[in-house]
Amino acid sequence: MAQISVEQKAVPKRKRDNGFLRFFKQWDIQLMVLPALALIFVFSYIPMYGILMAFQDFNIFKGMGGSPFVGMKHFQMFFESPEFMNVMRNTIVISLLKFAIGFPAPILLALMLNEVRHMFFKRLVQTVSYLPHFLSWVIVSGFVVSLLSTDNGSVNILMEKMNLIKEPINFLSLPEYFWGILVTTGVWKEIGFSSIVYLAAVAGVDPHMYEAADMDGASKFRQIFTITLPSIMPVVIIFMILAIGNLLTAGFEDILLLAKNPVLRGVSDVIDTYVYRIGIENSRFSYATAVGLFKAVISVMLLTIANVIARRSGNSLW
């Protein structure tokens, strides 16, 4: 671990006094971060040599040392595969939809909960809305499938009773409904859980600010925009940057379990489900690693762009 600290301290600005000395002067704060960085180095950086598999024809029996290097072969295979365009489109559309709806939803919920004065009701809604987070996707998809079933599914029965439809709609087999179902289910499952961190942020707002606003006669509605939202903005922005960095992760288990009908593949196949089917299930390690690496590179690029833009607001990751 000494290696890394030596390397890192050599990097910073050389102006002003001697970097070496400055480093030892601030030993107390370096001591706060270096042990953690050492752990990160051991558990995240040491295994990173596995990325090289993307450029090999990895054979698990021979190990990385015995597997031949093949350059960009697997990247090329991915880019040239007939599914590539479709998989990319679905990934981008689904994650943008999830971002557009799934990102603001928990913030909205936190703001709403913040307005509730009845403590019992507030806590009840808080606790209940986070329950679905604990149901595994297997159980959740079981519910969704039976809810939307054409045979005794509650949604179809309800719509028939209200005379909205004559014949049951086969929701889980029609491509036009899939994205809606996926996004709704995802928001439903995570909205309560994701709102917790915003509730924590809201708890940090100084109550005097509201009192002052009340004196000025500002409506509650206005106060949300003039006080609450600006106060939690730093947290919102940081989460937004991280969410943008994850835009290529459109989902996995949810899609695998909700898009069981192969008819939906045209709208449901995303990078992660594709890699699972091609790479993991068939033990094609190099291919899976190559696609994963491609995804990571794009993600870091997206994150960097988001960070640069966010820096204008004074909040950024680095």
Partner 1 sequence: MRLRKKSLATSVSALLAAALMLSACAGGTKTANPSPDTGDKGSSTPTEAVSDKYVLGEQPLDFSFYGHYDWYTMPTWGEDAATKWIKENKKVDVKAINSQGNAQQKFNTMIASGELPDVIWMDRNSDVEKLRENDMLVPYDDYLDKYPNLKEWLGEAGINMLRSPDGKLYQFPNWYTSQPNGNAGYVVNSKIYKELGEPKLETTDDLTKYLEAVKAKYGNTVVPFEPGIEGQGIDILYSAFKEDALTRWVSIRGVPNGDKLTSIFTDPTYRESMQYAAKLFRDKLISQDALTQTADQIKEKVMTGRVAVYAASSPTENAMNAHAELVKKDPDAGYFMIWPIHKEGLDKNKIFPGTYTQLGWNVSVITKAAKDPEAIFAFLDWYTGPEGQTLLMWGPEGGYWDGYEEDGITPKFTEKYVTDAAGLGKLQADTTNLQWNGNTVFIDTAKAKYESTLPEEERNWSTRWQYEVTWKTQANATEFITLDPAPESEEGIIRQRVEDIYTEARAKALFAKDDAEVLAVLDKAEADAQAAGYEKLLAYKTTKWQANLAQMNGQ
Partner 2 sequence: MVRLGFGDRFMMIMIYIFLAFLAFVTFYPFWNALVVSFNSGADTSLGGVTFWPRDFTLENYEIVFQDKRLLNGFGISVARTIVGTITSILVTSVFAYGMTKRELMGRKYYMIMCIVTMYFGGGLIPSFMLIRGLGLMDSFWVFIIPGLVSVWNMIIFRTFFAGLPNGLEESAKIDGAGNWGIFFKIILPLSGPVIATLSLFTAISHWNEWFLPSIYINKEDLLPIQTILRQILNSNIMSEQMSNLDSASQAALSRMQSVTTKSLSMATMIVATVPIIMVYPFVQKHFVKGVLVGSLKE
Tokens of 193: 């859980």
Could you say which residues in the range 262-281 bind partner 2, by CB under 8 A? Answer: none
DSSP string, 163-212: TS-SS---GGG-HHHHHHHHHHHHHHHHHHHHHHHHHHHHHTS-HHHHHH
Minimum CB–partner distance for residue 92 and partner 2 (Å): 17
H helices of 11-66, where? 19-25, 27-40, 63-66
Minimum gap (Å) between residue 149 Cβ and partner 1:
5
- Of 94, 140, 181, 183, which lies in the binding site for partner 2, with binding defined by CB under 8 A? 140
Closer to partner 2 by Cβ: residue 85 or 139: 139
Binding site for partner 1 (CB under 8 A): 3-4, 7, 11, 41, 45-46, 48-49, 57, 60-61, 63, 65, 82-83, 142, 145-146, 149-151, 168, 170, 172-173, 260-263, 265-266, 277-278, 280-285, 304, 308
- Report the nearest approach of partner 2 to the CB of residue 300 (Å): 5
Q: Distances from the Cα of 79 to the Cαs of 44, 278, 291, in angstroms?
A: 28, 14, 9
Q: Which of 1, 51, 96, 165 binds partner 2 (CB under 8 A)?
A: 51
Q: Which of 33, 69, 166, 312 binds partner 2 (CB under 8 A)?
A: 33
Is residue 186 a contact partner of residue 102, using CB atoms and an 8 Å limit?
yes
Minimum CB distance to partner 1 smaller for 194 or for 307: 307
- φ, ψ (nearest 5 deg) of residue 98: -60, -35
Q: Which amino acid is at 210?
A: Y
Locate 12 and state its tokens. 């910073």
- The owner of tokens 């730093």 is 234
Q: Which of residues 141-180 bind partner 2 (CB under 8 A)?
A: 143, 152
132 lines the binding site for partner 2 (CB under 8 A): yes
Q: Which is nearer to partner 2, 23 or 84 (CB)?
A: 23
Rounded to a whole number of angstroms, the minimum distance from the CB of residue 303 to partner 2 is: 7
Write out the two tokens for 307.
């960070």
Asked whether position 65 contacts partner 2 by CB under 8 A, the answer is: no
What is the spatial distance between Cα 266 and Cα 264, in angstroms, rounded to a whole number?
Answer: 5
Name the minimum Å distance from CB 137 to partner 2: 10
